Amino acid sequence: MSGRQKAAEYACAIIIKDGKTLLGRRAHFRAAYPNCWDFIGGKIEAGETAEQALIRELGEEIAIIPKNTRYFDKIVDVEARADQPPTYNFFTVREWDGGAPIINNHEHSHLEWFTHQQACDLSNLALPEAYRNLLSAALA
């Protein structure tokens, strides 16, 4: 029998262009944070680095290949699971290949570019306080 399972780790992108950041509205059927605005990203699979997961997830979800990513910060989500909270590792992405981001799978129902103030004013951010702090630091 194995011991406790390790808490999940995620790689997420703060995609910035012209002073705005891209957020995706999570599909209504998602188990966590349905219909909430969120950063694009996903779970780091076994054998992957966070950066490799970020590249894979952005390709799968919004059909871009990030270039010159930079680790920015992390959030531990105690709202999701207090006993084994997932960790979201954030990378800034200011350059990519593949053209304009588009919805490429079923994870999100909508993509939109937001100014700092517009994003902070959203009433349905997945993690409101943590995301507002993250946005303030990233877009400063």
Which pLDDT score, from 0 to 100, does residue 100 have?
Answer: 97
Counted domains in the chain: 1
Look at residue 2 and tell me if it is in a domain: no
pLDDT at 2: 46
Is 27 domain-assigned? yes
Report yes or no: 86 and 75 within 8 Å, Cβ to Cβ.
no
Q: Across the 140 residues of the chain, what is the mean pLDDT of every consecutive 10-residue run? A: 69 96 95 94 96 97 96 90 87 97 94 95 95 89
What's the pLDDT at 4? Answer: 56
Whole-number pLDDT of residue 31: 86
CATH number for 108: 3.90.79.10
